Chains A and B, each alone.
Chain A
């Protein structure tokens, strides 16, 4: 069974540009959540989608957005990139909703903003 796939693995963008990252969850999983990891702030929750609806959102500016498609694949977009957006972006998928369901993470997309 394939795991969570994130593309691309590495990305370099210029300040002010926008970027789209992709996440394909484990087959059959309907929940996808996104996280940002930086050395200074650690792992922080961005948002979560379930059946194409955003259910939860972390404390990030509106430049960070996402969506989920009918096949459960998800994309996140960051507009007007800032140097501080350089981070490892992680996607996790879960089969079900609720607190008794483990999430499985992808390997992440390493974004560098120059």
Chain B
């Protein structure tokens, strides 16, 4: 599976946009980029996923570079409740629903 690289931690001021980067330089053409977050000791929460086009939903936007070697998750107006560990995952395979989690980015939203 393609590996991902994320900064271990980031801070963001409340109300500002949080931009979380992810590098996935070995990604293949049929591999999707997924983002999940985990608030302490809870189950991971699905945020968004995409293949090559930018995606937006009610939670966040996902920007994938044209060469697909990196992506950015954008939380447009961060709140204290967005403090969590964010995981960027490159998911392979036409069969199977397994995710291989890395170490993620610990985002702290500061009042």
Contacts and interface: CB of A to CB of B under 8 A. Distances in A.
A31 interface: yes
Contact of B95 (A55, A58, A92, A106): A55
A99 B98 contact: no
Where chain B touches its partner, the secondary structure class is loop
Interface stretch (B10-18, B41-49, B65-73, B76-84): B41-49
Interface of B: 30-32, 34, 36, 41-46, 49, 51, 87, 91-103
A76 to B, nearest CB: 14
Interface of A: 4, 31, 33, 35, 42-45, 48, 50, 55-56, 58, 88, 90, 92, 94, 97-108, 110
A107 B98 contact: no
20 contacts: A33-B99, A42-B103, A44-B101, A45-B98, A45-B99, A48-B97, A58-B98, A90-B44, A92-B43, A97-B94, A97-B95, A97-B96, A97-B97, A98-B94, A99-B91, A99-B92, A100-B51, A101-B97, A103-B46, A105-B44
Nearest to A105: B43
Contacts of A97: 94-97
A39 to B, nearest CB: 11
A50 B41 contact: no
